[in-house]
Amino acid sequence: MEYRELGRTGMKVSALTLGTMTFGEQNTEAEGHAQMDYALERGINVFDTAEIYPIPPKAATQGATEEIVGTWLSSRKARDKVMIATKVAGRSSVIDWLREEPILSRQTPEQMREAIDKSLKRLQTDYVDLYQLHWPDRPMRVFEGLEYKRLPGDAHSLHEILEVLGELVKSGKVRFIGLSNETPWGTMTCLRLAEQHGLPRPVSIQNSFNLVNRAFEVALSEIAYEEQVGLLGYSPLGQGYLTGKYEDGALPQGARKTLFNRLGRYEQGNGPRAISAYVALAKKQGLDPAQMAIAYAVSRPFMTSVILGATTIEQLKTDMDGAALTLSDAVLEEIDQIHLDYPNACP
């Protein structure tokens, strides 16, 4: 396993992170524990979760993922062996069951304090290593589309949010802070405010990155490199589409599309054509499509760690083996050509 520095912390993290958003929905507690055992055995030292997990988020299961991570930490006596990354949710017009006071118009300091205390209790730990803002607490479109679109409402003060995070760091409940689903403007504003006011500096940014969504390269990659805010890239397999398992309309038993049918971004515009082109390239080169996609993500110079999500140990093994691949120049050239033909087909 390769290890890379996390921001400017001096901490070394594995080039792969275990994502846990299926624990408590598609995976039982025992299955989640088995994945964490296997990941640790293979050298992964970062587990990523969130207060709203599992996905899809719903009141009946919210918090189950952190609870499963917590019972593993407790039963394995493994708190000092892994870094735990979790996330605090921002404002939402849909999730009205997460807090005692719904996060409808803005995320308040009181809500953030409530969130970390509940996460720590579920995780059965006194601190989290990396506390991430799950999405910007600003009135904007977040999870789809490349263009910035401002929505009605007032923007929250990033200064105030960083002050609360600073309070959590000072209290010992949080070691480092990170961003997620953030923009270049938001990232640079947080860095500027941290420097001006002596507040915690984001050490990472967790954004989507895969063969059909390379938007991070456009502006954020330079920030990641120059400011040492490393990318924790999620969805390296495009929620499973880049494995090829949905080709020709297939619906494998137990797959996320089969269960939830909420992955529309990968079925619009040039998405299906781009995905099929990458799957065909892998097969032509004698590569597993999933391993080619992961090897590509791991090889990016701005990538700190690629977040893997799996529902079986077999899938996790395949994905982890992909990180050991070195793609040839010929394969990289063909990947770039497909990207030119279908640029960022599934943002």
Look up residue 338 and give its two tokens.
């497909």
Identify the CA nearest to 88 among candidates 174, 172, 189: 174
| Annotation says 342 is catalytic | no
Radius of gyration for the chain, computed over Cα atoms and rounded to the nearest angstrom:
19
CA distance 109 to 227: 27
CA distance 138 to 131: 18
CA distance 17 to 47: 6
Name residues whose C-beta falls within 8 Å of residue 182's C-beta, 6 or more positions apart in sequence.
133, 135, 136, 190, 205, 207
Name residues whose C-beta falls within 8 Å of residue 337's C-beta, 6 or more positions apart in sequence.
none
Helices (H) and strands (E) in the chain, counts: 11, 10
CA angle 82/88/89 to nearest 5° reads 140
CA distance 171 to 166: 9
Q: What is the H or E stretch that residue 304 is in?
A: strand 303-308
Catalytic residue chosen out of the listed positions 53, 131, 234, 278: 53
Q: What is the H or E stretch that residue 12 is in?
A: strand 12-14
Catalytic residues: 53
